[in-house]
Amino acid sequence: MEVLLAFLIGGLYAAGLYLMLGRSIGKLIVGLVLLSQAANLLIFTAGRLTRAVPPIIPEGAKHMVPPFADPLPQALILTAIVIGFAVLAFALVLVDRTFQTLGTYDIDEMKSTDT
């Protein structure tokens, strides 16, 4: 399972970087989202996969009994999802404002407006 996820993560990183190198600002944002999701999957995979064993302390026990899912990567991913959503919302508002000002989504035409 980890090998499959490793290939998926590599594919997401490659697709995200490819889209970010394009001329369209829409592709840049989609590439940013793909990089964010690839990073989330990387953290998830690095935390080791443990299926169907939640990180809950059993009644009467003082600590968790192995094997259990590590709750730290899960908390990191939840935080990264919220931050990624905020960055995406900010980028969309920034692109909308840029389009209202310049009238284009092409990055090369945006560079020609620099003074």
pLDDT digits (tens, 9 = 90+) for 50-66: 777 777 788 888 888 77
Question: What's the pLDDT at 111?
Answer: 74
Span 4-15, pLDDT tens digits? 999 999 999 999
* Contact assessment for residue 28 and residue 19, using Cβ atoms and an 8 Å cutoff: yes
**Is the CATH number of domain 2-110 1.10.150?**
no
Question: What's the pLDDT at 67?
Answer: 78
pLDDT tens string, the chain, 115 residues long: the values are 889 999 999 999 999 999 999 888 889 999 999 999 999 999 988 887 777 777 778 888 888 877 777 788 889 999 999 999 999 999 999 999 988 988 888 887 777 666 5
* Contact assessment for residue 41 and residue 76, using Cβ atoms and an 8 Å cutoff: no
Any idea where the domains of the chain sit in the sequence?
A: 2-110
Q: Name the burial class of residue 16, with classes exposed (0-12), middle (13-18) and buried (19+) by CB atoms within 10 angstroms of its CB.
A: buried
pTM: 0.78
How many other CB atoms are found less than 10 A from the CB of residue 22?
13
